[in-house]
Structure 1
Amino acid sequence: MKHFLKLTTAAAIVLGTSISAMAEEITLTISSWAPPTHGINAEMWPGLSEMISQATDGKVKTELKLGLAPPPAQMDLVMDGAADMTIIFHGYQPGRFTGTKLAELPGFEGNAEAASVAYWRVHEKFLAQLDEHKGVKLMGLTTHGPGQIHSNKDIKTLADLDGLKTRLGGGVSGDVGAALGLVGIRVPAPKVYETLASGAADAVAMPMESRKGFKLTEVAANVLEMPGGYYRGSFAFLMSQEKFDSLPADIQKALEEKVFGEPASRMLGQKWDMVDAIGRDASVEAGNTITMASDADIAAYKPIAAAVTEKVLGELSAKGVDAQAAYDMMKAETAK
């Protein structure tokens, strides 16, 4: 009888431990709008999920879900509690974000990793005061690599861009497109392939990663590459504030200290650089034409970039930001 009681007690302890472990495990739902094989889903979310798992000793897991809402609705989706985490491209919501345009300006040195780390540091010092991500927990900020012009028509010079029907993502890419004489077309990134394939657009402004991620090698065989890019794109990785507040205190502390902020931003930038290289390799393999802008076109683009920069800094100043100091810091940090 005593032996039976010992076994029963041992079984109860094991069962109790199992139930406790199950209770401690937390699963966060990720909403993503990019294609399944795009670098955001294939590299960035897995990278961030691994950081979260390691920081919490495996107590926090993630589950990726696609197609819950269109790209512009992602932040509201998380605020409404339909998902716990998401990624947003700031340019999809004109007027909602102004400070984020600083990181998108042309002329910054450095790759996506350098730009993303610089972006987070500038955000903390200058941009956080704008509270443009109010209602959500900001996990990380990142910029994609240099944005280039990809076309289904032969483009060799800046003059070839004038009048070209071009998908522009918003933000600084829209300002740059207008200055270059492009006829802007607004569609979300997942619709770019069919927009180009149908002839509704002749070109698109995107980073090199999109040649693989959005299959531009098939519908935009030509690239006019500007050293450093015509612009960059600003993204935020977000968590529901309500969900974060509901997490145990030790989990919150681990995420704040080991994941959120600069660590996440650096990792995301590294992933953008990696998928940029993959996109370039895919272009070479497909026999696409990548034309580097001539010295004359590089010189011609400088006053355009300067005018766009002046416009954006004016917008930031109107919001009460020391725009010149923020810009100078961004420039210095990316060049490190």
Structure 2
Amino acid sequence: MKTNRRIASLAVLAIAAAAALPAAAQTVTLKVHHFLPGTSNVHLNLIKPWCDKIAKESGDKLKCQIYPAMQLGGTPAQLFDQARDGVADIVWTIPTYSAGRFSKSEVFELPFFTRSGRGSSQAFWTYVNAHALDEYKGVKPLWLHTNDGSSFHLSAAKGVKTLDELKGLKIRAATRLNSRMLAALGATPVQMPLPAVPEAMAKGVIDGAMVPWEGVPAAKLQEIAKSHLDVPAGAPKFANSIFAFVMNQARYDALPAELKKVIDANAGAEASAWAGGTGFDSVVAANHKLATDRGNVVNALADAELTRWIKASESVDDEWVKEVTAKGANGKALLDAARALIQQFDR
């Protein structure tokens, strides 16, 4: 009997000791959700390496379970809310897929605004933290970044070189400001997420798509498109999209201090610059070559033609300023602040 009581006592002590272990001794698995396939550049070269890094630096106390291609359900436009509501612990998304909710942040999607992923991502992180954090309530931004800037990828073999040739074409847009720019240029915008582009273009629903070179392989645009259009070298890109890698705030707050430090060390301005540079800028040349190797035509606007396109789209900036001001912010001041940060980081 004494032996049995002793064993029982030891068992109770063992259970109590296990319960008393600090939370940091337990493995925390983070559910990470995004809308691109598991073969995509962002999955393989951004999200997975980031997850591997926090696992290593935490001694495997932090791990990710990554769910690509909306495997947890919902639509790309719902991803931000999934992070806020705890459906996922972390998401990577385009916030402006939820139209009208990130009006201050979307200044970085204005036409002819950014030049590179790395520089504009540093500017975007700095801008949001100074002027637009209220748009990210319920989540903790880890990185905020842009892409390498959108180019045109078109079905027509001869391509487009002038504003007149663009008029009337049905072109995919990623966000509402992309759509406004296309309309201002005389095209017909068709707004859709990237995964919908290949079928729409292959079936002739659209004549082309605005997509960064980074996204070309994921949408197989080197195969579907016959021609492509870039801005002149060194010029600001046609348009951009903003991206957010954000964590449920309550999930972050519940982490022990040592694991918060690991997350914090892999978040912020430098992480944002890494995302824009490594994830987007670094693959442009290789993806460009995918198109030229297939014999596709790659055009670039002449400088004088670029001036026409910029002038034709100026109304998009003005409309954005009016809308943001109507919501209670100082649209002109925000635009000036964003441009100043672009001058600082993206030149």
Q: Shared topology, TM-score over 0.5?
A: yes
Q: Structure 2 length as normaliser, TM-score?
A: 0.85
- Confirm or deny that 1:155 pairs with 2:160: yes
Distance 1:49 1:263, change over 3 A: farther
Q: Which residue number in structure 2 is paired with residue 312 of structure 1?
A: 320
Q: Which residue number in structure 2 is paired with residue 41 of structure 1?
A: 43
Matched-pair identity in %: 28
The CA deviation at 1:237 is 0.7
Stretches of structure 1 that go unaligned for 5 or more consecutive residues are 1-11
- Confirm or deny that 1:204 pairs with 2:209: yes
Q: Which residue number in structure 2 is paired with residue 328 of structure 1?
A: 339
Distance in 1, matches of 2:251 and 2:162, equals 50
2:125 touches 2:143 (CA, 8 Å); kept in 1?
yes
SS of the equivalent of 2:132 reads helix
Deviations 1:224-279 (A, max 9, x none): 212332111111111111211221122123322x1222122011112111232332
Q: Which residue number in structure 2 is paired with residue 136 of structure 1?
A: 139
The CA deviation at 1:168 is 1.0
The amino acid that maps onto 2:41 is G
Distance 1:20 1:331, change over 3 A: closer
Q: Which residue number in structure 2 is paired with residue 269 of structure 1?
A: 276
Counterpart selection for 1:282 from 290, 308, 318: 290
Deviations 1:276-300 (A, max 9, x none): 2332121122221110112231120
2:77 touches 2:98 (CA, 8 Å); kept in 1?
yes
Deviations 1:107-156 (A, max 9, x none): 3454101110111111222222xx11111121111001121111101323
Stretches of structure 2 that go unaligned for 5 or more consecutive residues are 1-13
Deviations 1:17-46 (A, max 9, x none): xx9899522111111111222111111102
Q: Which residue number in structure 1 is paired with residue 117 of structure 2?
A: 112
More displaced stretch, 143-152 vs 49-58: 49-58
The amino acid that maps onto 2:152 is I
- Confirm or deny that 1:145 pairs with 2:148: yes
Q: Which residue number in structure 2 is paired with residue 226 of structure 1?
A: 231
Q: Which residue number in structure 2 is paired with residue 32 of structure 1?
A: 34
Q: Which residue number in structure 1 is paired with residue 3 of structure 2?
A: none
2:82 touches 2:88 (CA, 8 Å); kept in 1?
yes
Distance 1:106 1:57, change over 3 A: farther
Q: Structure 1 length as normaliser, TM-score?
A: 0.87
Distance in 1, matches of 2:345 and 2:227, equals 28
Distance in 2, matches of 1:269 and 1:132, equals 21
The CA deviation at 1:54 is 4.4
More displaced stretch, 160-169 vs 72-81: 72-81
Deviations 1:290-316 (A, max 9, x none): 101122311201213433223223333
Q: Which residue number in structure 1 is paired with residue 304 of structure 2?
A: 296
Distance in 1, matches of 2:131 and 2:27, equals 37
Distance in 2, matches of 1:90 and 1:81, equals 17
Measured on the aligned residues, the alpha-carbon RMSD in Å equals 2.4
1:185 touches 1:201 (CA, 8 Å); kept in 2?
yes
Counterpart selection for 1:94 from 89, 99, 103: 99
2:28 touches 2:63 (CA, 8 Å); kept in 1?
yes
1:148 touches 1:229 (CA, 8 Å); kept in 2?
yes
SS of the equivalent of 2:243 reads strand
Distance in 2, matches of 1:123 and 1:54, equals 29
1:90 touches 1:236 (CA, 8 Å); kept in 2?
yes
2:172 touches 2:190 (CA, 8 Å); kept in 1?
yes
2:91 touches 2:247 (CA, 8 Å); kept in 1?
yes
Distance 1:63 1:279, change over 3 A: same
SS of the equivalent of 2:267 reads coil
1:152 touches 1:202 (CA, 8 Å); kept in 2?
yes
The CA deviation at 1:76 is 1.9
Q: Which residue number in structure 1 is paired with residue 61 of structure 2?
A: 59
2:29 touches 2:62 (CA, 8 Å); kept in 1?
yes
Distance in 2, matches of 1:286 and 1:201, equals 21
Deviations 1:167-220 (A, max 9, x none): 111132112111111112122211100010111111111111222121111211
Distance in 1, matches of 2:43 and 2:224, equals 22
SS of the equivalent of 2:135 reads coil
